[in-house]
Structure 1
Amino acid sequence: MGDFGLVGCVAALIDACLPPHAGWPVCDLRKYMDQLNSVGEFEEVGRDRPFNPYRFAASENTKGIVGEAIALLASYEDRFNLRRNRRRPRDQQTFEQTVEAILSDLMHGQLLGGTGIYVTRSNRVLGAKSRYRPPVYSKVFPAILDLLAKPEMGYVEQDVAPDVQGVSRSTVILPGPRLLDRIAEREVGVDDLDTHQSGETIILKRSKDPNDYWDEGERLEYQEDDRTERYRAELAEINQWLREADLQFDWKGIAWPHTPIALRDRRLRRVFTQGRFDSGGRLFGGFWQQLRKDERRTGLLISGEKAVELDYGQAGARILYGMAGQQPASDDLYHLWGYVQQREGIKRVMSAMIFADKPLERFPKFTRKLFRKGDKIAEVVEAIASKHSLIRDRFHCGIGHDAQFIESQIMVEVLLIMRAKRITALPIHDALMVPGSAAAAAKDAMLSVFQQMTGVPAIVTQSEVETLRPFVSSF
């Protein structure tokens, strides 16, 4: 306890702690399932999010909160004879790292919207040997959570999932009353917290279960080879570059509600799908990906300049032509006679046709409203297939993830070129945010790389500040 410089009797602090807080709102869990550190891949504002086990206290302010908590926990264990022997040095280090990660991520979550954080209690996950398992995940992780949640401690509020046979246990946690008090007393801000630049960045997932809406595809173990080492080295280079970038954000003129962000959250991961390293591969992570379009186009500053967004137009469709060794017959691949006013709907249905492994029998989710009352899916599909007769045999073959892999390779190569040119560029799947003065150079690189990798000319558009609209992928 003396290592943390605490003054006075810790036991007295325990006796004087606040009563346990009750009634915290906790969002329903989407599914009782293992959570293997999937931070940043599927986060949604306003919903519970995965635990980030790499978060840490980055200032004396937050280090003090963590240090006090560790000292209080040690005193509690001694007082109630919870441990017969002292932990070995290595075990003590893991214990302290775990407490720090839990409290730091709870503080971070509270500052960025106050949503719940879900963690795993599965021994199968916590005790498994895996490239994805962070150091703080061990079989004692649930015990540390329970200790922090003791009424005398008051650091954590948790809603433990029931122990159901055959189902992994997940728990939603929120800051307890003591931690909330410390956040307020010390005026903790997001700059008081940071994330370790460690953990697996090359992630391989199995195919999703088409009959399970919530299935995100379990992470798969894999053998290291020259390809995975190359992917990891490329991403390490990009992440180090982005970590040092001059990024700022100005909320002036942006309508509420604001998307909560932390400028330090910049680390990217590549997520490959369907159990293959030539499937998917998109980049996830980075605070800018969480922003609404209107927010990032209005408030994001790169190297002191207003950022602009450069988008690949019709990327998925054009890549499909390249895969078939064909050239598009027109500039606008989503323009269909008879469906001129339904262009957005045609775009989404065509995307679904690229990913589907059998002919569409109904309009994809959320697309029916984009068509007229009398429009039928079979007629729309046939109209698209007729316009794109050169690639007709590529529809309904389930090759969308293959096309997405080519897109991801294009984006990684463009980022490496931008780094070499010393132009900061932030990826958003098939788009880039760059300083306004660098837009022309970035556009040239995007056009060149796309042509080289697909054999098909690209379309790159520069987006201006706009009012809020839902984000729609080019796929």
Structure 2
Amino acid sequence: MDQIAPLIATHDDEDEERDRPFNAYRFAASDSAKGIVAEAIKLVMNYEERFGLAKNKRRDVDQQTFDLTVDAVLSDLMHHHLVEYPLDIYVTRSNRVLGTKSRYRPRAYSKVFPRILDLLAKPELGYVHQDKAAPIPGASKSTVIRPGPTLLSRMDENDIDVDDLDEHPHSETIILKRMKDRDDYWDEGGLEQYHDTLTTDRYRRELDEINQWLASADLRYDPRGIPWPHTAFDIRDRRLRRIFTQARFTSGGRMFGGFWQQLRKHERRQGLKIAGEKAVELDYGQVGARILYGMAGHLPAPGDLYQMHGYNQHRDGIKKVMSAMIFAEARLDRFPKDTKKLFRKADKVGEVVDAIEAKHPLIKDQFHKGLGHDAQFIESSILVDVLLDLRAQDIVALPIHDAVMVPASKVSMTEETMLRVFHAHAHVQGTVTVEG
């Protein structure tokens, strides 16, 4: 798994807490945090000299990389301990990943990274604790790192908080994921190198415009009245990345990042304020199915596309099965993961698929063709244009894949914009639901 670019959980996974990849763009911003990093660099270099681990003095450029890496590791660990404890950070030690030239890899994540990590983890130094990945098929390929006792002690002594740390701008916001190797069960996908074109340049300009806008937005969060546990986050984390799939820029393209995507649904709705107003979430309804109708050149069936005779109490299950049918490349022969519980015990997946096809005869031949990633690209293009349009109207909007959050007073204008942009891209009428 290529772990250079941190990926955020999808909208469907939003209630799951999970470890996150190492953020190599973190750095010490205050004198106190810089002092911790400087002391660590000095102690590590003394350790190398004492045990004869550095045969020659590093070149200036190599010393700069060394210092940058120590800074990134310790700063990310400090930040993570402050805002995301007790979750962990995972890193890669793969020579194949770290030793290959990549547009995605920050300078602090180079082929010398494992050696620096091992030095920081020496018991005599105690800055890092690491659980190395087991070298066996099927086991996690990631190493987990945590703050060591020395780092925790220095944090306490210097009263470190999140304001002592900062983050360099990420070098790449347009990310392309490669195809998975179908013959390799353990292949988890990875990142694909690419050459810039007029299209990728445009995608990057659009996202830079959105990111600059969000960076200066008046966003606040009040946790009072929200039941525990609370999701830990940094309100300065607002930078979005656009992630394309299947090694092409007409596949996927959803925007990931931003602290609001880490929040659970009830936390966003209760605690988030935009420009001093309560934040309200507007979702596109039945978005994948409606886009598929537009791709096929047909108008959607009237009414709720997920409501059908014989399954009136199982709409959520129908929605998930239909989504799987859009993404699948072969007819479903089993219920998608965690979907069976949404149906009756006697229900069979074949019968459910038949019922969906009977409900939607105009797009029956569009199912099981792997068109989900193409539909998702249209969805992501819609969201990008919605954000740019709302920015032109001076309305701050936070994207959550097929939804946006806006100030309560801007709901009507936002809904109008969402419906207009949807029709322009999908060529069918959309629906928008105001949540809560």
* Same fold, judged at TM 0.5 (above): yes
Aligned to 1:441: 413
Q: Residues of 2 paired with 1:82 and 1:146: CA distance?
A: 12
Q: Distance in 2 between matches of 1:93 and 1:303?
A: 41
For 1:165 and 1:213, the matched residues in 2 are separated by 10
Letter in 1 for 2:5: N
**Counterpart residue number, 2:189:** 217
Q: State the distance in 2 between where 1:444 and 1:212 align.
A: 46
Partner of 1:61: 32
Looking at structure 1, the residues matched to 157 and 123 of structure 2 have their Cα atoms a distance apart, in angstroms, of 20
Corresponding position of 1:51: 22
Could you tell me which residue of structure 2 aligns to residue 73 of structure 1?
44
Corresponding residue for residue 65 of structure 2: 94
Alpha-carbon offset, residue 358 of structure 1: 1.2
Instruction: Answer yes or no: is 1:157 the counterpart of 2:129.
Output: yes
Q: Which amino acid aligns with 2:64?
A: Q
- Higher mean displacement: 401-410 or 218-227: 218-227
Q: Structure 2: state its 5+ residue gaps.
A: none
2:86 aligns with 114
Worse overlay, 175-184 or 67-76 = 67-76
Q: Which residue of 2 aligns with 1:270?
A: 242
**Helix, strand or coil at the partner of 1:340:** coil
Answering whether residue 251 of structure 2 is matched by residue 251 of structure 1, we say no
Residue identity matched to 2:353: V
Equivalences for 1:400-419 in 2 at 5 Å? 400-419=372-391
Residue number in structure 1 paired with 2:294: 322
The CA distance in 2 between the partners of 1:230 and 1:291, in whole Å, is 30
In structure 2, the residue corresponding to 1:359 is in which secondary structure? coil
Classify 1:209/1:291 alpha carbon distance in 2 versus 1 (closer, same or farther; 3 Å): farther
For 2:174 and 2:235, locate their aligned partners in 1 and report how far apart those are by CA, in whole Å: 23
* Alpha-carbon offset, residue 240 of structure 1: 1.2
Distance 2:107 2:198 in 1: 26
Q: Is the 8 A contact 1:205 1:272 kept in 2?
A: yes
Q: Write the mapping of 1:323-472 to structure 2, written as runs, cut at 5 A.
A: 323-464=295-436
Map 1:130-209 onto structure 2 (within 5 A): 130-162=102-134, 170-208=142-180
Structure 1 residues 286-310: Cα deviation after superposition (integer angstroms, max 9, x where no partner)? 1111111000110011111110000
> Residue 452 of structure 1 aligns to which amino acid in structure 2?
A
Give 1:379 shift: 1.6
Equivalent residue number for residue 8 of structure 1: none
CA distance in 1, matches of 2:302, 2:141: 53
Structure 1 residues 35-46: aligned runs within 5 Å: 35-40=3-8, 46=17
User: Structure 1 pair 440/168, CA: closer, same or farther in 2 (3 Å)?
Assistant: closer
Q: Find 2:208's aligned residue among 236, 247, 259.
A: 236
Residues 269-278 or 37-46, more deviating: 37-46
Measure the CA separation in 2 of the matches of 1:109 and 1:213.
32
Structure 1: which 5+ residue stretches go unaligned?
Answer: 1-32, 465-475
- Match 1:126 to one of 98, 108, 112: 98
Say yes or no: does 1:287 pair with 2:255: no
Against the structure 1 CA distance between its residues 253 and 166, is the aligned structure 2 distance closer, same or farther, given a 3 Å change threshold? closer
Displacement of 1:207 after TM fit? 2.8
Query: Is the contact made by 1:239 and 1:267 (CA closer than 8 Å) also made in structure 2?
Result: yes
Pairwise CA RMSD: 2.1
Once the two structures are superposed, the pairs formed by residues 290-301 of structure 1 within 5 Å of their partners are 290-301=262-273
SS at match of 1:434: strand
1:261 aligns with 2:233: yes
Question: Bigger shift: 344-353 or 199-208?
Answer: 199-208
Contact 2:137 2:186 in 1 (8 A): no
Cα separation, 1, equivalents of 2:141 and 2:318: 42
User: In structure 1, what is the Cα distance between the partners aligned to 2:401 and 2:141?
Assistant: 32
- Contact preservation (8 Å) 1:311, 1:460: yes
Deviation at 1:423, TM superposition (A): 1.3
| In structure 2, distance between residues paired with 1:145 and 1:323 | 49
- Give the Cα separation in 2 of the matches to 1:382 and 1:165: 38
Would you say the 8 A contact 1:34–1:168 is kept in 2? no
Q: State how far apart, in whole Å, the 2-side matches of 1:90 and 1:168 are.
A: 33
Report which stretch shifted further, 423-432 or 198-207: 198-207
Q: Aligned with 2:143: secondary structure?
A: strand
* Identity across the alignment (%): 64
Partners of 1:34 and 1:169 within 8 A in 2:
no
Moved over 4 A (4+): 41-46, 162-169, 209-215
Deviation at 1:190, TM superposition (A): 2.3
**Deviation string, structure 1 residues 120-139 (Cα, Å, up to 9, x no partner):** 11222222111112111222
Q: What per-residue deviation string (whole Å, max 9, x for no partner) do you get for residues 342-365 of structure 1?
A: 111111111111111111112211
* Cα deviations by residue, 1:88-141 (Å, 9 ceiling, x for unpaired): 222221111100100011112212123222211122222211111211122221
Q: Which amino acid aligns with 2:300?
A: P
Structure 2 equivalent of residue 29 of structure 1? none
Aligned AA (1:40): I
Secondary structure, counterpart of 2:178 in structure 1? coil
Structure 1 counterpart of 2:282, from 310, 328, 332: 310
Q: What is the CA–CA distance in structure 1 between the aligned matches of 2:185 and 2:337, rounded to whole Å? A: 12
Q: Give, in angstroms, the shift of residue 224 of structure 1.
A: 1.3
Matched letter for residue 94 of structure 2:
S
Classify the secondary structure of the residue corresponding to 2:130: strand
Q: Residues of 2 paired with 1:95 and 1:430: CA distance?
A: 41
Q: Give the Å deviation of 1:184.
A: 2.0
Distance 1:216 1:311, change over 3 A: farther
SS of residue paired to 1:418: helix
